[in-house]
Structure 1
Amino acid sequence: MVEKSFLIQSAVNIAEEISASAIIIMSNDLPLEIDTHIPVMLASTSAMMAADHLLEASNVEEGKDSTGRLQAISETLYYKGTLGSERISDASVIAFIANMLAADHVVGIVSHGETTSIVVHDLKANPVVKELRACSERVNLNILKSVLMIAMDLGAYGREGKPVGTAFIIGDMEEVMKRSHQLVLNPFFGHPKEELNIRDPAKWETVKEFAQLDGIFVMDSHGYIHAAGRYLDVNAREVEMVKGLGGRHASAAAITRDTEAIAVTTSESDGIVRVYRDGIQIIEIDPRASKVSRYK
């Protein structure tokens, strides 16, 4: 058996050779004594462990002949390799949104059971990152990242243990305000402009508190919040939606069809974060399955 420490050192060598932004480790049992100047991050393994359990239960069955068992093992190994690549891709998206990556290449180490793989991921080819960068033609990318950080935190943890659903409409503010009205008194009205900047992490707790209000947030393309608790007056009947999503998602999608705004929603039922542009869902992120923290 190949020593896992050898595989880790191989991953470190690759990361240093290509000047990677980070090494992302997805494992519960890898040694973490890693000597490198490359930032090292840890990613959640919960989603992968659940998928592994389902795969092994369905594929590796007693009673199969030798050919069948060999095929099942081959499919399992292929699936684990593909799953590892997908999970590193997902973790890279979270790290990108959190501004933890300075360049486009990430080296991942994925270990579960007796299988350990090394993944080199290029953010330029990541479909979520590509869509986020395309949105920067309309809104500042760092503003969108800040909104996504808040939305993902609400999706993963809710507020005081309770699930929270909300929506953020970013950009083309004047047109969005024309197509909406207040459901409740606007908690952001009359405050100094410097107190309304979504890019300031010190303001995020306030935003998450007001996310419990009915209605949506409206902010301009520079990241200043103009309103919360607002209702969108749009016709969402012809918007194509994922089945099971409610009126908040439909109206958020519709306002991006009728204006140049970008919409970010958090689902109260499952915590999924979605991004809409031109009336179409372009991004879906499960914040509970993809968590990344800095190790060193």
Structure 2
Amino acid sequence: MAAPRRFSDQLRTMCGLAVQLADAKQVESILFLMERPTDWEALAAAVGGRSMILAADSAEILDGADDGALDCDTIVLNMSGAPVYERLTEALLEAVADDHLTPGASVVAVYSGFEDGVTDSLSVIHLDEHLGRLTVRDLRPLGGRVPTETLKMVVDLAVEIGREGREGKPVGTLFVVGEHRKVQEFCKPMGFDPVKGYTSQERSLTDAKVREGIKEIAQMDGAFVVSSKGVVIASAQHVSAPPAPDIAISKGLGARHWAAAEITRATGAIAVAISSSSGTVRVFQNGDVVLRIEPLRRAMTWRDFDSEPALPPEKTVERAKKPIDSPPVTDA
């Protein structure tokens, strides 16, 4: 018989403070970034039955939390070792994508900000209107021959590339999804194709390792051709579809976006273009931009410590645009 899970006094105190903040700020839910299993029923009782979101790096940590007896949603991050603000960001993005939170919601986050394994920090987080992560419902109106789940997987990957770049540098690239045989008629390799020679399973975007590999390859010139099943058919491709005189895209968009518009007009594919300058993701269908997504580089703005001197209004606005990496802490 498994040993009972311990609900620590520290966590109980933090739950009480989280409830006070939730009441004061009228938040939508309380988010717990869990590092180990706990007594889930005791946790629910400590927050007075309020709606909870439980996020952790593995499903094992959350075992038993989603058995239906608790009013909570669970999110598996698979981000062990990542900084706390990145894990919180991903948890919030996933919560919005899965309809656990509305894009404009406010939440209280409870997490370990300073000492591993010790729940020592609270933050009130206000989400922007656009988090840069779409739900299946958002993408379904595009229709076409590309399954919605495949399109969502590609768009989510594109948003990650637009938000994160690679090694601190912005990255722009293009995904052409669906109708891959017809699309390839308008493509030619720009040089070495890193995905050539691998099996379909080894090129499937359903594999997290493949998605990470695609982020590396995205630094190369050229586009990705992706099948309707989410398999990367080719990379580093020069896309050159017949020009359509009636295509019109915004000023300032370059060859990548024109290629996206033209290939979608010439085929039944959907193109997802990432701007290297801004990280903006644009989804093209039949030559037109049908969705524009501004990736959020941080899902929250950390507030300054109360002990800091007040700043002039213009400085306060400037600081609000620059999230602080170290979150605030409320000692229990």
TM-score range, shorter chain: 0.5 to 0.7
Corresponding position: 1:108 with 2:116: no
What is aligned with 1:219? 226
Corresponding position: 1:272 with 2:280: yes
**d(CA) in 2 for partners of 1:128, 1:277:** 18
What is the CA-CA distance between 1:227 and the residue it aligns to?
0.4
What is the CA-CA distance between 1:216 and the residue it aligns to?
0.2
Corresponding position: 1:262 with 2:262: no
**d(CA) in 2 for partners of 1:34, 1:259:** 53
Of Structure 1 and Structure 2, which has the larger fraction of its residues in helix? 1
The question of whether the paired residues in 1 share the 8 Å contact of 2:98 and 2:135 is answered with no
**d(CA) in 1 for partners of 2:248, 2:138:** 19
Q: Per chain length, whose mean CA-contact separation is higher, i.e. which structure has more relative contact order (CA < 8 Å, sep 6+)?
A: 1
**d(CA) in 2 for partners of 1:146, 1:284:** 16
For the residue of structure 2 that corresponds to 1:242, the secondary structure is coil
Corresponding position: 1:204 with 2:211: yes
What is the CA-CA distance between 1:9 and the residue it aligns to?
4.0
Quick one: structure 1 residues 182 and 105, their matched pair in 2 at CA, closer, same or farther if it must change by over 3 Å?
same
* Counterpart mapping for 1:103-252 below 5 A: 103=99, 106=102, 108-109=105-106, 130-234=137-241, 235=243, 237-252=245-260
For the residue of structure 1 that corresponds to 2:195, the secondary structure is coil
**d(CA) in 1 for partners of 2:151, 2:268:** 14
* Counterpart mapping for 1:77-96 below 5 A: none
The question of whether the paired residues in 2 share the 8 Å contact of 1:236 and 1:251 is answered with no
Quick one: structure 1 residues 98 and 141, their matched pair in 2 at CA, closer, same or farther if it must change by over 3 Å?
farther
Number of residue pairs the alignment of both structures matches: 215
1:283 to 291, 300, 322: 291
**d(CA) in 1 for partners of 2:101, 2:164:** 30
**d(CA) in 2 for partners of 1:99, 1:174:** 36
Identity %: 32
What is the CA-CA distance between 1:38 and the residue it aligns to?
3.4
Q: Aligned letter for 1:175?
A: K
Q: Aligned letter for 1:39?
A: I
**d(CA) in 2 for partners of 1:128, 1:290:** 19
Quick one: structure 1 residues 246 and 129, their matched pair in 2 at CA, closer, same or farther if it must change by over 3 Å?
same
Q: Aligned letter for 2:196?
A: F
For the residue of structure 1 that corresponds to 2:140, the secondary structure is helix
What is the CA-CA distance between 1:184 and the residue it aligns to?
1.2
The CA deviation string for residues 49-71 of structure 1, in whole angstroms up to 9 with x for no partner, is xxxxxxxxxxxxxxxxxxxxxxx
**d(CA) in 2 for partners of 1:104, 1:10:** 21
What is the CA-CA distance between 1:265 and the residue it aligns to?
0.9
The CA deviation string for residues 247-293 of structure 1, in whole angstroms up to 9 with x for no partner, is 1011111111111111111101111111111111111111135637x
**d(CA) in 2 for partners of 1:163, 1:222:** 28
TM-score (norm. length: structure 2) = 0.54
Query: Any gaps of 5 or more consecutive residues in structure 2?
Result: 1-17, 32-45, 56-89, 109-123, 301-332
